[in-house]
Structure 1
């Protein structure tokens, strides 16, 4: 390539103390903690119970891209874990300096960096507002210390926020903004019985819109197995590695994200906050076309009903397309996505170093073989550069 890539979906594996290093003393025995057994595996606890992600994911993981064949071609061999790794043996998965050196080798100018274990714990503590925000504050302070928010223009870690309580959310939002955050993350799905687009949260959305900070919805534990999956004969206590096929289909993949985007659109978030930018990362893209049809049809059918966010436009799908950027799965049809939402709103993501992602970020390039040079550059770097406030320029490689 004549230019370096910008990856919209990079990950780290967290250390044992990511929640405890900076936790306030009164929450130290309640927040997310790791206990290591004789087998060396770290078990994840919240208060005295296990969490949805019951074992530290980096302790027994498949190598980067090891499951690619499963998703791209239906090859099931990836689940045999023939390439098991421990993230602690790979400094580039857990340390910033080593990751920067690897990025140079991989041809990456910059990357958005998201949690592995961190996106799976919020729902388990939502019954306690104070514990939730103390834990998220502690996690974000660890994040600032170990990875940073992109002051160097290269690694852009995303702090974790929650709308469980507006006052706490605004306090932490302002704090991470002052610390230099370029993006913030919300867990998909409802929170505390409310839509994220409920007008009660308008101060949050007005603040991120005015600051030009995109809001990321990354695949997470949204709690659907508790308030939805259990109505379909499933056990809501199943941990992440024991989710059933139906739980994966109904609770853990695209449904929480699609529900969230539907609510943002039909509760008229974009009409009230026209500068808001929403990023969908690691939720795939095959749902987009049907979602566009759904919100337009629903708006027409519900035109005489209450509209808690204000009057909707005739075609709310156009508002959604204007405010949404999508990072597809590596196995998704990127050309179909470009046709549905436009080349300016498609982001390349490798999911590196997760096993369901790519062996290395440049493996994405052949997926754009049918696109012209301008579209290819937008997807591989230009669009994400714009969202991060970076100029779309780079030294020529080689």
Structure 2
């Protein structure tokens, strides 16, 4: 029997797949192999993904596993230059064992974090075919290669909520409990979460118990402090995107309409959450009277949330989950955030990753907590949220 209280293993709720070159071409007739995402080799540019008349290269920061910080670079890399575990699920398990990672939820790379590649395609009927191929491959080949070691994360056709709901139902029947969604759909040219456009998706998520997983950057937009702000400053400022998404959802009324709906703020960290919850309460207290009267201020939108009964902290506790890598402020504020609302991640194989020292880093992170709280943050919250039963941990592990 698995020791469900073991603190020697973690579940990472945000890692990444570098899609193998044969993912799509092996699952379509020969006539379509040039239409699906496929890899070609260019004498000057090296390996290039080609799809819908566009080419895509793999940034080196997406595949740094096994490299020292001094070797990190955004320059494009070929698959021969990256660790096999970046794209091979069996090799990935070996790396997971080395770092004390019992299970992993993986976001895609080529398709971008919520499937923007297919949303932007000129032929959306064929894009749906490609999207379904990805979902089937993820379930059968990636997750199926090591049962109990991967939490399947599906993509939805963002351009058609009815089709999205059907695909969610199809994948839920195969054990999928979460789907990728954009932190800010309007940045993609889609309606906001307040628009009835998304009702079929949110209703399906509510009924199927599917978690809405929103990875930072899934809006295909990088906020800038200013046009001249350095890259490092903007990267450090990144949580501003996630905090905006959280507040948008909390004030949207969606959690009242869909009481089973839950969201995960993937790679968004959580140390900022106490401040924004406090600030939200201050805003409600001071502004709710005139807002509730329907008075319009500038071009800001109003909604139908009852601001006199809205308990922002309880709403957060019931529906929102923060995902952390090395966020000590979130652990220090766990009494405010809630011990049931924080999960850990390793971001393998990206440049923020804690691999190969993941369990050591995570243990140091949660050390101030009680053993029960440590268990929740390391793995228990992920098991509960994604309704996931991990495999038996290996008898021995290199990290041990």
TM-score by length of 1: 0.78
2:206–2:261: 8 Å Cα contact kept in structure 1?
yes
Determine the structure 1 residue equivalent to 2:16: 11
1:22 Cα deviation after fit = 4.0
Cα gap change, 1:386 to 1:28, in 2 (>3 Å): same
Pair 152,394 (structure 1): closer, same or farther in 2 beyond 3 Å:
closer
Deviates more, 1:193-202 or 1:208-217: 193-202
Does the CA-based 8 Å contact 2:60-2:74 persist in structure 1?
no
Cα distance change, pair 123–182 in 1 and its aligned pair in 2 (3 A): closer
* Offset at residue 376 of structure 1 (A): 1.0
**Number of residue pairs matched?**
372
What's the counterpart of residue 161 of structure 2?
166
Query: Aligned with 2:92: secondary structure?
Result: helix
Which residue of 2 is the match for residue 71 of structure 1?
none
Q: Does 1:303 align with 2:277?
A: no
Paired residues of 1:150 and 1:156 also in contact (CA < 8 A): no
1:224 pairs with 2:235: no
Residue ranges of structure 1 left out of the alignment (5+ in a row): 68-76, 235-242
Q: Alpha carbons of 1:46 and 1:298: their partners in 2 closer, same or farther (altered >3 Å)?
A: farther
Residue of structure 2 equivalent to 1:258 = 243
Equivalence for 1:353 = 349
Provide closer, same or farther for how the CA distance between residues 248 and 358 of structure 1 changes in structure 2, counting only shifts above 3 A: closer
Q: Which of 201, 204, 212 is 2:201 aligned to?
A: 204
CA 1:263–1:385 in structure 2 vs 1: closer, same or farther (change >3 Å)? same
How far did 1:319 drift? 0.7
* Secondary structure in structure 2 of the residue aligned to 1:215: strand
**Does the aligned pair in 2 maintain the 1:187–1:222 contact within 8 Å?**
yes
Q: Is the 8 A contact 1:150 1:157 kept in 2?
A: no
Q: Alignment partner for residue 366 of structure 1, among 364, 367, 378?
A: 364
Q: Which residue of 2 aligns with 1:49?
A: 54
Q: TM-score, normalised by structure 2?
A: 0.77
SS of the residue corresponding to residue 224 of structure 1 reads: coil
1:119 is paired with a residue whose SS is coil
Task: Show CA shifts across 1:252-278 (max 9, x none).
Answer: x33443332222221111111111111
Counterpart of 2:43? Answer: 38
Residue among 317, 336, 339 paired with 1:340: 336
Is the 8 Å Cα contact of residues 61 and 73 (structure 2) preserved in structure 1?
A: no
Pick the aligned partner of 2:175 from 160, 176, 180: 180
TM-superposition CA deviations, 1:117-163 (whole Å, max 9, x none)? 33258445545554553442232223223213798222113111244
Q: Secondary structure at the match of 1:104?
A: helix
Q: 1:63 aligns with which of 62, 65, 70?
A: 65
What is the DSSP-based 3-state SS (H/G/I as helix, E as strand, rest coil) of the residue aligned with 1:258? helix
1:93-242 equivalences under 5 Å are 93-119=86-112, 122-123=115-116, 126=119, 128=122, 129-130=124-125, 132-148=127-143, 152-191=147-186, 192-224=189-221
User: Partners in 1 of 2:349 and 2:110 — Cα distance?
Assistant: 13
1:383 is matched with 381
- What per-residue deviation string (whole Å, max 9, x for no partner) do you get for residues 156-182 of structure 1? 131112443211211221221122212
**SS class of match (1:147):** helix
Once the two structures are overlaid, the 10-residue window that deviates more, 367-376 or 324-333, is 324-333
Q: CA deviation at 1:374?
A: 1.3
Question: What do you get for the CA RMSD once the two structures are aligned?
Answer: 3.8
Q: Describe the SS at the equivalent of 2:343.
A: coil
Native 8 Å contact 1:64 1:352 kept in 2: no
The yes-or-no answer on 1:285 pairing with 2:266 is no
Q: State the distance in 1 between where 2:81 and 2:71 align.
A: 22
Q: C-alpha distance in 1, partners of 2:304/2:80? A: 45
**Partners of 1:368 and 1:217 in 2: CA distance:** 24
CA distance in 1 between partners of 2:326 and 2:245 (Å)? 22
| Equivalent residue, structure 2, for 1:271 | 256
Contact 1:8 1:349 in 2 (8 A): yes
| Aligned CA distance change for structure 1 residues 350 and 246 (closer, same or farther; 3 Å) | closer
* 1:304 to partner: Cα distance: 2.8
